Amino acid sequence: MALLHIELPDGSIKEVESGTTPYSIALTIGEGLARQSVAARFDGELIDITNPLERSGELALITQNSAEALEIIRHSTAHLMAQAVKELYGKEVQVTIGPAIKDGFYYDFYSENKKFVPEDFPVIEAKMAELAKANQPVVREEMSSANAIELFRGMGEDYKVELIESLGEGSVSLYRQGDFVDLCRGPHVPRTGMLKVFKLISLAGAYWRGDENNAMLQRIYATAFLNKKELKIHLNRLEEARKRDHRKLGRELDLFSFSEEAGAGLVLWHPKGAMLRTIIEDFERKEHLKRGYELVVGPQILKTELWQKSGHYDHYRDNMYFTEVDEQGYGIKPMNCLAHMLIYKSKPRSYRNLPIRYFELGTVYRHEKSGVLHGLLRVRGFTQDDAHIICRPDQIDAEVKGVMDFVQDVAGIFGFEYVMELSTRPEKSIGSDADWEQATNALCSALEDSGQPFELNEGDGAFYGPKIDVKLKDALDREWQCATIQCDFTLPERFDLTYVGSDGEKHRPVMLHRVIVGSIERFIGVLIEHYAGSFPLWLSPVQAIVLNVTDNQAAYAQQAFDQLRNAGIRVELDLRNEKLGFKIREAQMAKIPYMLVIGDREMETQTIAPRFRDGKSLDAMSVSDFVNLVQAETVAYK
């Protein structure tokens, strides 16, 4: 038998016989290491800990205390959940796919008759615990595709058959544990006994392969951890996230709603929500003007020929709406860049004019599938804080850094941390290799010069250029995609944008597409969850509410209310004949920052008694002093 040379991460060499497994090598180092090993990486490739080694190479053991191990454990627990479902419901349910995802895993099931409900979760979890306790070996098996198709067809697993056929490979790998067998590349844990800490979380619908023309599947979301403490922390975070759900708080705070009569994914802004939106939009205009942007407004529809010229028709039309006027086709805009280029082209430009920064709070419409709509976070009609910077190639670095500074300032004002990601050329794209290389290098250089850490996201750029994506981190450490900076050499070429250089010749400018908060709708959804609906004073749609104790103070309460409103305070008045405690609790539920109580003493002294929404109180003060207090608190962001 051949002797193999296996190099470990510390540089040491193990001489073993061909067919030795990583688990056996771990045992030679220590039993504790072997027990902790979940899988291995051999010459950079993930393999099972029980996989026989047939050649010399570099071996790294993956132990339970690593993120890589947790992903494998979650993927293995997805198989355990599918095994439990099959043992409980048999041929009534077909299995499809079950990957690990961020914070957990899911498995999609198909059934004509069985409708999963949350009440099924304890039953499935109990069966999973029983199977884990049995500590069944998890065995990998290579099989020809033809034999695997025959196997799954005989089991009535039509979706597995379709998956194998779509792979178009001569052989596939299967994993068996007990009587359960699944199609999978692996790797997996060696025994089910390693899967001890898990929890089923929620249900959702999902189209097979994401195609709404295919069957609707039932998706069970779940999670798994290495210990109960980590699971408890995660479940507490999920519970907090449920409390902060912007859809729930949006109803409770009377900010917005959706109506089937209006259409799915179209937001109806109520007065308080519209006020919140107006505050943010006014903030946006002020911040952009301060940084040298010019306000522009483009039409909602543009001729179809323009969308063909830009490439959107070929690369984005499935997400667009179209209409016809006087036998002329039009596309309802999903983006604002075309109108901005037409404004630029409206007269000759000199190199001395550049950069030009056009800003528009542009409302756009995109054809999102009904299955992905999600409150304010995914809608069909939304407004972007969209801007296009048209500049010379030598100005790209400074302009990108300027946008990054803008993002940093805004993130700080709203209390967000963030991470950055550089996305490169996708498979379907337009433009020359040289333009893409120059654009990508420009963004990469700006990121590196800034000292801001970033990750590389290969192949996820826009179809016309690479991009920097900014992901905000909220109070629960969740990431939200908001700001983006895209470097585009291609559309200026297609639309023949030019400027006259210092040499008197025409040159081609570069266009930076960028948003700072992105969709106003999405950003408000994120803000609601970040602040749990308790907005800072400057953002609160209602900053204060005047509450009288009895009808005796109604006239003075009205006078104080009028004085506050005339001073620019966003204030409400509650003169209802209710107990003060009831009115205070309602105001707290509405998360109004200040409750201004007026009793006989306040009426006599011509004062108000401010009370915070957290229950703390201030000494009585004049209305004008309270106005000064609010103005001082809200000046911080300006």
CB of 214 closer than 8 Å to CB of 208: yes
Helix axis angle for 67-89 and 121-133, nearest 10°, is 110
If 0-12 CB within 10 Å is exposed, 13-18 middle and 19+ buried, where does residue 209 land? middle
Beta-sheet pairing, 216-225 with 104-110? antiparallel
Q: Which residue has the tokens 């709404």?
A: 212
Name the catalytic one among 467, 514, 570, 611: 467
Name the catalytic one among 48, 182, 386, 488: 386
If 0-12 CB within 10 Å is exposed, 13-18 middle and 19+ buried, where does residue 507 land? middle
Query: Annotated catalytic, 286?
Result: no
**Alpha carbon distance 107, 221 (integer Å):** 7
**Alpha carbon distance 33, 90 (integer Å):** 38
Query: Annotated catalytic, 337?
Result: yes
Query: Annotated catalytic, 391?
Result: no
Name the catalytic one among 384, 395, 486, 553: 384
Q: ∠ CA(79), CA(80), CA(85), 5° rounding?
A: 95
Which amino acid does the sequence have at 437?
A: E
CB of 159 closer than 8 Å to CB of 147: no
- Token pair for residue 216? 């609707």
**Alpha carbon distance 266, 261 (integer Å):** 10
Q: ∠ CA(25), CA(31), CA(35), 5° rounding?
A: 90
Q: Which helix (H) or strand (E) holds 606?
A: none
Query: Annotated catalytic, 366?
Result: yes
Q: ∠ CA(569), CA(575), CA(577), 5° rounding?
A: 155
Name the catalytic one among 184, 337, 482, 487: 337
- Token pair for residue 450? 């800034």
Residue 148 DSSP class:
H
Can you give the three-state secondary structure of 206-232, one letter per residue? EEHHHCCCCCEEEEEEEEEECCHHHHH
CB of 387 closer than 8 Å to CB of 515: yes
The residue length of the chain stands at 638
**Alpha carbon distance 394, 43 (integer Å):** 43
Q: Which helix (H) or strand (E) holds 567?
A: none
Name the catalytic one among 188, 340, 513, 530: 513
Query: Annotated catalytic, 384?
Result: yes
Name the catalytic one among 277, 366, 530, 591: 366
Beta strands in 64-177 (DSSP E): 94-95, 100-101, 104-110, 139-144, 171-177
Closest CA to 422 of 471, 463, 466: 466
Q: What is the DSSP string of 170-208?
A: SEEEEEEETTEEEE------SBGGG--EEEEEEEEEEEG
Question: What count of other Cβ atoms lies within 10 Å of the Cβ of residue 263?
Answer: 10
| Phi, psi (degrees; rounded to nearest 5) at 586 | -65, -40
- Token pair for residue 243? 């409390």
Name the catalytic one among 388, 570, 583, 591: 388
> What are the catalytic residues?
337, 366, 384, 386, 388, 467, 513
